[in-house]
Amino acid sequence: MFNSKIKRILITGGGGFIGGEVIRLLLKESNLQIFNLDKIGYASDFTGINNQIANLGKQYENRHKIIHADLTNYEQTEDAILKSDPDLILHLAAESHVDRSIDNPRIFINNNIIGTYNLLEASLKFYLNLSDERKSFFKFHHISTDEVFGALGFEGKFSETTRYDPRSPYSASKASSDHLVSSWYHTYGLPTVITNCSNNYGPWQFPEKLIPNVILKSFYNQKIPLYGDGKNVRDWLFVEDHAEAILLIASKGRIGESYCIGGDSEKNNKEVVLAICEVMDQIKPNNKPHESLINYVQDRPGHDFRYAIDFNKIYREFGWRPKFSFSESLERTVKWYLENLDWCEKIKNKANYDGSRIGLKK
Ligand code: NAD
Ligand code: TYD
């Protein structure tokens, strides 16, 4: 998968949903030494990684090292880079929930913008001290979102040439971090690549995002909150497909470029919720269909209407396209949450999150 000279990888945000998936894939399919930098915030958990290491065998234990560090602290960030001595940096750490960004934008400015700035500064200093040989394969891969492009109407798709037009504090902070990464490439020559991906779903996602939230509400027979008229559209990608695309771009993506990654699976929120209810009706039937729990609630402020991704560039250059179908992977995801209710309760309690509505205007 990677050039054999690449030995060590530093992943930021590997305590989170997507970072955890990337690490599980790396454990299985590479020999790299993995350093996982995370501030260990409310959404962080290492159970999935630890389970996989236990399944693979004791010899994998040393392949994954957690570095408890916060990117908002420059010294901690620089120390983590020196300790891990990376050939490749995958930057996933971010505050990631739009609703939380509406309630508390400062957290997003600090973590996503200042955090990325500190990581870029420390990475550049490290990079400039590398031998010419190591410089020739070093890469900084920044993982971003399609939300930086704003909102689409009924027609069209986002691509690498779409103008940035973020509209939530979350997407504005991610857009800022993309611009910082791009400027460190153009101005200082740091070898960077950026990916912008659509909405992910799958196991181990903190249960505040749409899909796990709806699964848990329907399991406990609670009202399922559908924002506005339920017609907002997202392009859903199974997290294993995203992890594969990330590693592909990390190894083959062209320096200075950005790549859009999407699921080819546009659904409006009502369709997603109905699909979850249908699976729930089959595997945990109630006297009434789960659909009867749907509750239309006040819309999210500044709610982006539609996201859709044209992933032709990554397909053309590297043949990547999503492998997993929405219906099968959604069913798998629902079953996974029902089998892991203890984990959901544990992580919700740890985060002091009771599933109540957040993200209405201040
Ligand atoms: P997540 O919230 O599950 O995990 C993010 C992790 O980053 C957490 O473990 C958190 O503790 C860590 N983190 C945050 N700030 C940090 C800091 N200052 N220092 C160190 N660690 C810090 O998020 P996720 O869904 O796994 O998303 C990962 C990345 O992918 C994010 O950059 C996000 O913007 C991007 N992304 C997510 C999606 C999605 O649908 N979830 C889609 C496209 C892109
Ligand atoms: P979310 O999972 O928060 O991802 P994002 O805002 O980054 O796209 O939300 C996905 C969509 O689902 C979005 O249009 C908001 C909507 N939504 C609901 O209708 N109900 C909910 O309980 C949540 C969390 C989201």
The verdict on residue 183 lying in a domain is yes
Decide if 299 is catalytic: no
d(CA 157, CA 160): 10
Rounded to the nearest angstrom, the distance between the alpha carbon of 288 and the centre of ligand 1 is 37
Do the domain assignments include residue 55?
yes
pLDDT digits (tens, 9 = 90+) for 85-140: 999 999 999 999 999 999 999 999 999 999 999 999 999 999 999 999 999 999 99
Residue 169 counted as domain residue: yes
Binding site membership of 17 for ligand 1 (Cβ less than 6 Å): yes
Residue 362 pLDDT level (bands cut at 50, 70, 90): low
Question: Do 13 and 94 meet the contact criterion of CB atoms below 8 Å apart?
Answer: yes
Helix (H) or strand (E) holding 259: strand 258-261
Range of the domain at 62: 8-203+237-263+307-323
Query: Would you say residue 251 lies in a domain?
Result: yes
Answer yes or no: is pLDDT of 352 > 80. yes
Is 147 known to be catalytic?
Answer: yes
Pocket test for ligand 2, best of 144, 158, 269 (most atoms within 8 A of CB): 269
Q: Which one-letter amino acid corresponds to residue 55? A: N
In sequence order, what DSSP letters do the residues of 126-155 get, joined into one string?
A: HHHTS-HHHHHH-EEEEEEEGGGG--B-SS
Query: Does residue 58 belong to any structural domain of this protein?
Result: yes
Of the residues 146, 208, 240, 244, which is catalytic? 146
Q: Is residue 165 part of a domain?
A: yes
- Measured from the CB, is residue 304 less than 6 Å from ligand 1? no
Alpha carbon nearest to ligand 2 atom 14, residue? 232
Measured in degrees and rounded to the nearest 5, phi and psi for residue 355 equal 90, 5
pLDDT tier at 160, thresholds 50, 70, 90: very high
Query: What's the pLDDT band for 361 if we cut at 50, 70, 90?
Result: confident
pLDDT, position 248 = 98
Of ligand 1's atoms, which has the minimum distance to the CA of residue 44? 9
- Residue 198: inside a domain: yes
> The domain spanning residue 29 has which CATH number?
3.40.50.720
Is 243 a residue whose pLDDT tops 80? Answer: yes
Closest atom, ligand 2, to C-alpha of 273 = 19
Q: Is 354 a catalytic residue?
A: no
| Segment 170-188 mean pLDDT | 99
Ligand 2 site residues (CB inside 6 A) read 98, 199, 209-210, 213, 225-227, 232, 234, 269, 300
Q: How many domains does the chain have?
A: 1
Q: pLDDT tens digits, residue range 256-315? A: 999 999 999 999 999 999 999 999 999 999 999 999 999 999 999 999 999 999 999 999
Helix, strand, coil fractions of the chain, as percent rounded to 5: 50, 15, 35
Euclidean distance between CA atoms 115 and 261, whole angstroms: 24
Contacts of 318 (CB under 8 A, 6+ apart): 248, 249, 252
Residue 171, domain member (yes or no): yes
Q: Separation of 210 CA from ligand 2 center, angstroms?
A: 5
pTM of the predicted model as reported, rounded to 2 decimal places: 0.99
Mean of pLDDT values over 234-243 = 98
Our answer on whether the CB atom of 15 is closer than 6 Å to any ligand 1 atom is: yes
Residue nearest to atom 35 of ligand 1 (CA): 144
Instruction: Give residue 97 CA to ligand 1 midpoint distance, Å.
Output: 9
Residue bearing the CA closest to ligand 2, atom 20: 226
Pick the ligand that lies closest to the CA of residue 224: 2
